[in-house]
Structure 1
Amino acid sequence: MPHPTRTYVRGQRFLHRFFQVPRRGLDALDRRGTTQPPGRPYPAPMSEAEDLVRLASADNFRDVAGPGHRAGDGTPLRTGVFYRSNELRLTDEDAASIASLGVSAIHDLRTRAEVEHRPGVDVPGATRHHVDVLGIPLEEITELADAEAAVALMERVYRGFVEEPATRAALGTLLTSLAVEGVHLFHCTAGKDRTGWTAALLLHLAGVEDTVVLADYLLTNTRAAASRAATLRLIAETRGPDSAAVFEPVLLADADYLHTAYAAVEARYGTRERYLLDGLGLEPQVLDALRARLRG
């Protein structure tokens, strides 16, 4: 099936379309999935104490530079250059918070179907760009029989970041855009897979150690814990308790998923640098610009 016709689904749209959860159930999930009043920051774990902004309506919003990530030579990464997030269904207060960061470009990595179904809220001063990075055929989700099948599907998704020509082209377009001056925000639906892989590539370019990159990737599980738990509860209530275990791997960031992509990079390109240059078609000056933007 051609890449543009695929649909990558998450969260409430995923529940409604594939689990037959009624809209009133999704409204309840909206209420239950947020543990703080709209517009108020979430309390941050100690490891995230340096985060400057926490958003109630986009719980996976954060600075790619992290709370003090450093390049291989010990240089602190520049904050306030690249932000990442889950979908931007923002309160007015949270939209204003993002605007106050000087965000000039928002890159939406979701499919057109996702964007049409759940369009994001406009952020004052920011231009929107759509880059369809990846799609999962609908039948792949509906036919999941057990958790093992879900894990296998997710591993195929991550190999797709490396092996699918259309996905590589989209990632190349995205990273080329991120090299342009300005404050950039990129996001997908959960801020986990497409966004997580993009953030990992940026951190690798900056020379951040692999252990730190992995910890940053897995932070999604902490940041989105409340909304993920609410999603799983709703799945269990509507489809039975066993269904939640089947679909939980689709909702998690997993170290094995990231390692699957790394293994595909090594097998096909040898190094991540060659993947960026040959696989994504990036020019050397684009890589230099991204490094310079991250390192200051």
Structure 2
Amino acid sequence: MTDAGDAELGEELVRLASADNFRDVAGPDTAYVAADGTPLRRGVAYRSNELQLSDADATTIAGLGVTDIYDLRTAHEVEEHPDVEVAGATWHHLEVGGIPMLELEHLSTREAADEVMRSVYRSFVESPEARAAFAQLLRHVAEERAGATLFHCAAGKDRTGWGAALLLHVAGVADEVVLEDYLLTNTFSSATREKYLGLVREHLGADKVEVYEVAMLVSEGFLQEALDAVAASYGDLAGYLRDGLGLEEETLARLRARLRA
């Protein structure tokens, strides 16, 4: 198949009607290239929002060879919106705290919502439970296995975004590309975001739209908040992976090898 054909196939696969933020961690179309010129391997890890899937989309994901699904949502989120089963895939639960939606209801400014979001991103680094969950996810992807891994949270943007950023960093992708990939959520999830903001306007009032919009977007500042927390506690991402997540160099080497073509 030609390179153009590969790109067309990749685009077809990521644009799922019932999971609009589903995409290959290696790149939504053609594979990203690491800073040393090595392309990433597609089909190793996929990221998504919650799997409220149509039958057709569940079949599409099964066809990608996904053997393990890692759900990063809280137990309450899972209970409220359980994933649709994907044939051939084993479901795993790794609980990571997300946006405190009840807290948002009592906020009145974008600035207050922004600080809530920043606290969420700091928790990915500072919370022992979050570190344990991300460590388990990365260890799994590092395993030598034939199947692909799919991981997700609710919107597929914060918890999932941090996990994807870590994988791309380990693969050697440049920081600016990691950021660009992280920000793609704002494009991929635009229709879903507008739908929910319409519900906010209808049920909570127009003055709440700006507050909730902050929580439904990703921003460079949010990702930087997590990176600043990494710097404060571990010096850099290498220290966070080693000391924060407890990943040995052998594990990171296996992970790097799996992610790179």
Q: Where do 1:1-296 residues align within 5 Å?
A: 50-53=10-13, 54-66=15-27, 67=29, 68-137=31-100, 139-180=102-143, 181=145, 182-296=147-261
Distance 1:272 1:84 in 2: 21
Shift of 1:133: 1.8
User: What secondary structure does 2:11 align onto?
Assistant: coil
Shift of 1:143: 2.6
Distance 1:51 1:75 in 2: 21
- The residue type equivalent to 2:200 in the other structure is I
Distance 1:210 1:75 in 2: 15
**Which string of whole-angstrom CA distances, capped at 9 and with x for unpartnered residues, describes residues 108-147 of structure 1?**
0001111111001000000000000224556533332311
Gaps of 5+ in 1: 1-47
Q: Which stretch has the larger CA shift, 176-185 or 137-146? A: 137-146
User: What secondary structure does 1:51 align onto?
Assistant: helix
- The residue type equivalent to 1:202 in the other structure is L
Distance 2:224 2:119 in 1: 12
User: What secondary structure does 1:83 align onto?
Assistant: strand
Distance 1:82 1:252 in 2: 23
**Which string of whole-angstrom CA distances, capped at 9 and with x for unpartnered residues, describes residues 162-181 of structure 1?**
11111111111221122122
1:51·1:63 contact (CA, 8 Å) conserved in 2?
no
Distance 1:238 1:123 in 2: 34
Distance 1:247 1:136 in 2: 11
TM-score by length of 2: 0.92
Judged with a 3 Å threshold, the aligned counterparts in structure 2 of structure 1 residues 136 and 86 are, in CA distance, closer, same or farther, namely closer
TM-score by length of 1: 0.81
- The residue type equivalent to 1:117 in the other structure is E
Shift of 1:217: 0.4
Shift of 1:271: 1.3
2:18·2:57 contact (CA, 8 Å) conserved in 1?
yes
- The residue type equivalent to 2:234 in the other structure is Y
Shift of 1:243: 0.8
Distance 1:145 1:237 in 2: 16
Judged with a 3 Å threshold, the aligned counterparts in structure 2 of structure 1 residues 52 and 73 are, in CA distance, closer, same or farther, namely farther
| Overall identity of the aligned pairs, in % | 57
Shift of 1:59: 0.3
Distance 2:178 2:106 in 1: 32
Q: CA RMSD in A?
A: 1.4
Q: Which stretch has the larger CA shift, 67-76 or 256-265? A: 67-76
**Which string of whole-angstrom CA distances, capped at 9 and with x for unpartnered residues, describes residues 9-64 of structure 1?**
xxxxxxxxxxxxxxxxxxxxxxxxxxxxxxxxxxxxxxx86534021000000000
1:106·1:185 contact (CA, 8 Å) conserved in 2?
yes
Give the length in aligned residue pairs: 249
1:108·1:129 contact (CA, 8 Å) conserved in 2?
yes
Distance 1:289 1:134 in 2: 28
